[in-house]
Amino acid sequence: MTGSRIIGWGSYLPEKVVTNDELAESLDTSDEWIRERTGIRERHVGGSTGDMSIRAGRLALEQCGLTGEDIDLVIVATSTPDQLMPGTSAVVHDALGIRGGACDMQAVCSGFMYALTAANGFIATGLDRVLVIGADSLSTYVDWDDRNTAILFGDGAGAAVIERADDQTLLAFDLGADGSSRHIGFTDHGGYINMDGKEVFRTAVRAASKSAKKALAAANMTIDDIDWMVPHQANVRIIESIAKHIGLPMEKAIVTIGETANNSAATIPVALDTAVGDDRIKPGDVLLMNGFGFGMTWASAIIRWQPPT
């Protein structure tokens, strides 16, 4: 069985920051309410999905000393492509000079996790290196007059280079979906993000907790084996609730939502890059990556963090 490991990583957030106080100037809300109910202090907005993908992808390549010439496939996970067609991966392919193929993946906020798992599968079938990018520009699809959604979302991109390896560092994964729940969160062509927040909250906690437990069982591990949970950043209360359901102390959860808000497919690679960058995540650590998104979709992966030395 062929293994794979993450050898490069990087992320990008647009420069423009919108604080809760700025939102409260035009919406019937407050910094206090948003912090208490979501954990969000501010969000980065602006920049196209393609541009953010290129920036994050370039950083991930530089981080491991590679160029696009070394990459067999780029997968961009996004639900906010700049054009209906071609995929955002085409823009990235061109800008980074990717030698191999290019495709997009659409699983909303679970997209990066689906793409990461797919990259491992592509490597098992013969590829050497896959660049996986999660990127979304949700600010384009937010009704800034709707306090139910405007407070929650932001823009950003995160990337990882996955390489064939002798050891398997993707110890286990779980992918799932319930398409019959697609009505609780959706965006029509030309429309805004539409969401039943309470129902999304409930479904997300239930699905993501179950998924994390399934991945742990598949890896033959318990929650005590996990050094860090790298969760999707949708609401800090969702992260707390999932942590409680699976028995993980909150000190072991990487929380970046205060600064990023929910930038969909980007949240997990951005959180990973942040926690590796500030030396919380160290070589040998076992990570539980855990995400969910509209669809509803969900995904978990147990990964041994083993970058090249």
Give me the residues that bind ligand COA (CB under 6 A), please: 29, 33, 37-38, 109, 147-148, 151-152, 185, 195, 197-198, 200-201, 234-235, 262, 293
d(CA 151, CA 40): 8
Tell the smallest beta-carbon distance from residue 216 to ligand COA (Å): 22
CA distances from 103 to 12, 17, 114, 243 (A): 20, 30, 13, 33
User: Residue 53 CA to chain centroid, in angstroms?
Assistant: 13
Q: Which is nearer to ligand COA, 107 or 216 (CB)?
A: 107
Q: Which is nearer to ligand COA, 3 or 197 (CB)?
A: 197
DSSP β-ladder status, 73-77 and 101-105: parallel
d(CA 76, CA 292): 17
Q: Which is nearer to ligand COA, 6 or 108 (CB)?
A: 108
Q: Which is nearer to ligand COA, 122 or 298 (CB)?
A: 298
The residue with tokens 């997009």 is 104
Residue 260 burial by Cβ neighbours in a 10 Å radius (0-12, 13-18, 19+)? buried
Tell the smallest beta-carbon distance from residue 219 to ligand COA (Å): 25
d(CA 158, CA 77): 10
Question: How does 212-251 read in b/e, with b if 16+ C-beta sit within 10 Å?
Answer: bbbbbeebebebeebebbbbbbbbbebbebbbeebebeee
d(CA 61, CA 43): 26
* Residues annotated as part of the active site: 109, 232, 262
d(CA 226, CA 221): 8
DSSP β-ladder status, 155-165 and 170-177: unpaired
Total residue length of the chain: 309
The secondary structure of residue 245, as a DSSP letter, is H
Q: Which is nearer to ligand COA, 125 or 180 (CB)?
A: 180
Q: Which is nearer to ligand COA, 113 or 151 (CB)?
A: 151
Of the CA atoms within 13 Å of residue 213, those in its CB half-sphere come to 12
